[in-house]
Amino acid sequence: MLPFVHAALAATEPPPVRMKATLPGVPSTAPYEYYSGFLDAGVPPSGRGKMYFHYICAMSPDWEQKPMTLWYNGGPGAPSTYGLFQEFGPFLLSDASYATEDFKKTGLPTPLPNRYTWANVTSLCEIDSPAPMGASFCTEGNGTAGSTGGPSGDAYSCGPWTDLSVAAADHQAHIAFFTKAFPELAKNKNPVTIVGESYAGVYIPYFIDAWLKDPIPGVNLVGFAIGDGCTSCVPMPGRPVNWCIDLFNNGFQYPNTLPGPYWDVQFFWGHSQFSTGLKDEIMATCTHEELVGITPPPNWSPACTHLVSVRMAEEVGYFFVYNLFEACPDEVTDEISGTRRLGETGEINGAAPAAEAGASSAHAPPARTHRQPPRRRHRRLAHRRLSQPAHAAGRVVATVEEQGARTKGGAVSRHRAHDDASEAAGPAFRSYGDGDSGLGAACLVDSMEVYFRSNATLTALGIPLDNNFIVLDNGVGMNYTIDAPFVGPVYERALKAGLRVLVYEGDSDASGLQTLPMYDVWVPFFGNGSGVWTPAGRLNASDPAARPLGLPLTQPWRPFGVLPAGRKVQGGYVMEWADGQATFVSIKGAGHLAPTYRPSAAYTMMEAFIGNKPLPPRINGLKFLIGRKGEYRVGGKMYDNAARLARLHGAILVDSVHDATCLIIDRAVEPEAAPRAAADTEDEDDDMDALGPAVALAQGLSTKEFIIAEIKKLGAAYKSGAGGSGQHGSWARNQHYLQAPGAIEHHLREPVSLKTLQALRRVHGIGEATVQKCVELYRLGSLSRTESLRALPEQIAREELMRVWGIGLEKANVLIREHGVHSVAELRAGGPALHAALHMTSGAVRCLELHEELQQPIPREEIEAVFRQVEAIARSTALDLAPGRSPRLQLTGSFRRGASSAHDIDILLVLPDPNPRLDGAALRVAAEAFDKYGRSTGQEGAFAGGFFMGLCRLGAVPGALHRRMDIRCFDEHEEPFALLHLTGSAAFNRYVSRVANAQGYSLSEKGLRPAQREGGHAPIDRDAPGGARW
């Protein structure tokens, strides 16, 4: 081994495939084991010699039986060493590595223990890709003058690279990894995942695609995860493959990582980085097509270009691209002003950078001495960074002569230079994170580059001492061409193959790859977003290159907590499709490198992903309700019925935005329970860890109500036939699980605990199996039997059919069992004869025809456009009302709750009080609206009770989709209650109804009235007027 380490690589001597490694500065890596080696990845794109991809593994304790995760960083050009040594590995490097006693003795940054290392749940192996990044290399140069190979070869020695050639090379490296380096992983069937961030969002899907086409024998690939990742672009006629991304556009110039400024405007304004006045001016001046990148930037109006590229840049000023709120002094550099990225200027189209003119060909290394390590890159994929303020220029790095400190290969330690300059000016103050605060995360500085250019490190890892450890970014300096289209179709193939997918984002990442734009890609893609324009382009159900998957949303957006359980820390937010096969996570307070900024939240996320289980429930906290200002005065301000509900619950009422009020109900404070006997505490620990109460709370239910509802669902599943026992399912189980809830309702004591659940064993009509299912619901928050029944093919077909308007459980069963129909397409193909047999109304048939359109989310902008038209009609239609008393209209539903999209348009129509002609008014407004903009369902009774249901379409907009629209009519005195009810979710309405009931009232969309109880009326609060009109 030593001849290889201490000398240049001989032409015939292969590098080691696997060797036990140590880490200088770490006395012992136990309980983790480190390995290092080189993987034969075949012939490089240059067609000359061989290429070897270097890897480093941090293996979990008992790693032969643990899952394995392969990690990749992006760039293109960033070594994957960054992830293992600065984000999630057992030992990390940062500016704190320069503050140790060991550093004072050796001059080498010290790797420090990481309590949140992912190695506690999975072994971790990073692979430096493509060669010659990091310690990877090619044995020969690319054949052009001045290009040499070997460990000290130049950055151009292996290329030219493209997205797809990287995928092919890494697949060969993966084969070598599992057949030559760690064959025991294939033998033991260890679960394998591939995880990465940034430009690895393009790499990894195409790695997976190569794997699906050429599976590695014996390897148990279970899924992949992408953090703050690029997506590539949906193909568009007449535009290049990378039309939506240009890694070298400066400032707020587009495209950069985004095709247009819409998402930057929302992100920076939403984080209070520029004025509302400028935001309003941008939104009023720029067209929607300009903002989202439908119109290419060269075709923008000069006014829009100036507002975005100049005015917004001036108001925002300097920001750190990887975390908007990072405050590391070293992040303000002395680079040329006006850049929003880091590094040399250049192209990513295969040509050498312009600054390197003079090279003999596009494939040649730069004119500088190619054996010298390239200039250290400050970040990976730092595409978009603004200039620093003028007063900051030149204050960070002194010259080499002034510092007298060099690292291997002549690279200056920026950290030490900064420290000396800071000490001359005064003390420097730092605050390191504890895993819960992005603002407190350690600064990374140059610790990793210095560590990996040390002879001690190279020797300990079996890397030749003349290795350059090349660190690049954005494809500059290595000859890289983007050629991969939108990664969505690969996700589709992976999910169909049974793999699990996790997409996670930091909500404070300022690179353009944060939660906001990535939500707008993946939520419509995993769902039914055909026709939706995303930062990657427009999704289209008829185009295999941009087809949304239509997966069922099984977990709407919810908060999640962090491990260990019981900490009062929120990790972020999660959504799931297909019971967690596809997951989207937003990590609160995290930047581009999520594990660096929120290590506890990132660890919690990865522990759940590797273990194939849901993220922990949110911490008990606050519930919010948006209401409207009205006639009640509290603290000198006027409020509506929200004030009444606040008083009922002892909650707090505060102002909120958009002329609304916010009711805060603190569920963390529960009434004190009576003292318990010692015997009552034997299950106390299990009660504290139970997930059921938190799941119930998220649904607006008590724990008892939640358990009863889930048992009823199980009975309904058996009734539907999911149990598979005969035409009507298991009749006995169906009857039992439909009757058991009544016994549970009567006999289960509250507050619910394991002890009260165990007591149900003594109740007639509740068997042992039912008690165990109640305990499972209490402990885990879900029922495995219900989930398994839902996974049956017949149940999947049933749920798909029931998404069609007008098809309920009974009709779905008839379709499946009597007509052999298992999908919407088959139902549609059945034609009029089948529809008549099902007694489908004309409205239901019309909704079937438009089923795919009606499943698509409706953007807020379109909802507002429809509302403006209906509002104009309502005000102009002669409603035979008293003079001066015009109707009022409001948008409600998820739109009013602030959702970015909705699945129907809910409108509240309030008519002056009294008015006996509600139905006629609604009919006239709706009829005229639909004469111009759409059509009604034609279903009888569509207007009954002041309630209209119909379809509409913005006829003036090319390609506009049909949408569902509901118009609800109420008397003027009912408005506050209707607004409350129609704005709240189903779970929230259940909750506030229980709050009112607990105080002796009945709350509905019509009003708040004293509840009728046995023995007479419930008492009324003397401070509140009674009846419906208070």
The per-residue pLDDT for 608 is 93
- Give per-10-residue mean pLDDT for the chain (1030 aa): 41 82 95 96 94 96 94 93 95 93 94 93 96 94 89 91 95 97 94 96 96 95 96 94 86 91 94 94 94 93 95 92 79 41 30 29 33 34 31 26 28 36 34 49 86 94 92 83 95 95 94 92 92 93 93 89 77 92 94 92 94 79 40 40 43 38 36 35 51 73 86 75 46 61 82 88 80 86 72 75 81 84 86 86 82 86 84 63 65 84 86 56 54 38 58 71 85 84 77 76 84 46 31
* Nearest one of 919, 311, 190 to 610, comparing CA atoms: 190
| Residue 708: partners with Cβ closer than 8 Å, 6 or more residues away | 741, 744, 745
State the Cα–Cα distance between residues 525 and 488, nearest whole angstrom. 8
Query: Taking the C-alpha atoms of 566, 569, 575 and 580 in order, what is their torsion angle to the nearest 10 degrees?
Result: -40
- 418 phi and psi, to 5 degrees? -65, -40
| Known catalytic residue at 811 | no
The two structure tokens encoding residue 380: 């990976």
Q: What is the DSSP string of 626-669?
A: EEE--SEEETTEEE-HHHHHHHHHT-EEEEETTTEEEEEEETT-
The per-residue pLDDT for 722 is 54
| Residue 562: partners with Cβ closer than 8 Å, 6 or more residues away | 436, 569, 570, 571, 600, 601, 603, 604, 616
105 torsion bin: left (phi>0), alpha (psi -120 to 50), beta (else): alpha
State the Cα–Cα distance between residues 525 and 772, nearest whole angstrom. 38
* Nearest one of 267, 262, 299 to 282, comparing CA atoms: 262
State the Cα–Cα distance between residues 137 and 316, nearest whole angstrom. 41
**Residue 531 identity (one-letter amino acid):** G
SS (H, E, C) 794-808: HHHHHHHHHCCCCCC
| Residue 25: partners with Cβ closer than 8 Å, 6 or more residues away | 97, 100, 102, 103, 106, 108, 109, 110, 111
State the Cα–Cα distance between residues 56 and 18, nearest whole angstrom. 9
The two structure tokens encoding residue 1028: 């419906």
**Residue 507 identity (one-letter amino acid):** D
**Residue 778 identity (one-letter amino acid):** Y
| Residue 431: partners with Cβ closer than 8 Å, 6 or more residues away | 439, 440
Q: 27-57 in b/e burial notation, b at 16+ Cβ within 10 A?
A: eebeebbbbbbbbbbeebbbebbbbbbbbbb
* Half-sphere CA count of 649, side-chain side, radius 13 A: 23
According to DSSP, the β-strands at 480-481 and 537-538 are unpaired
According to DSSP, the β-strands at 901-902 and 934-936 are unpaired
Tell me the C-alpha to C-alpha distance, in Å, between residue 316 and each of 259, 276, 277, 498, 613.
19, 12, 13, 44, 41
| DSSP 8-state assignment for residue 48 | S
Report the alpha-carbon angle 420-424-426, nearest 5: 110
| Count of CB atoms situated within 10 Å of the CB of 547 | 17
According to DSSP, the β-strands at 1007-1010 and 963-971 are unpaired
Do the beta carbons of residue 924 and residue 829 sit within 8 Å? no
Do the beta carbons of residue 984 and residue 977 sit within 8 Å? no
Do the beta carbons of residue 38 and residue 1 sit within 8 Å? no
Domains of the chain: 262-450 (no CATH), 622-671 (no CATH), 678-790 (1.10.150), 793-854 (1.10.150), 859-984 (3.30.460.10)
According to DSSP, the β-strands at 858-859 and 1007-1010 are unpaired
State the Cα–Cα distance between residues 779 and 706, nearest whole angstrom. 12
Q: Catalytic: which of 712, 773, 811, 932?
A: 773
Tell me the C-alpha to C-alpha distance, in Å, between residue 865 and each of 418, 545, 686, 905.
54, 30, 52, 11
Do the beta carbons of residue 36 and residue 463 sit within 8 Å? yes
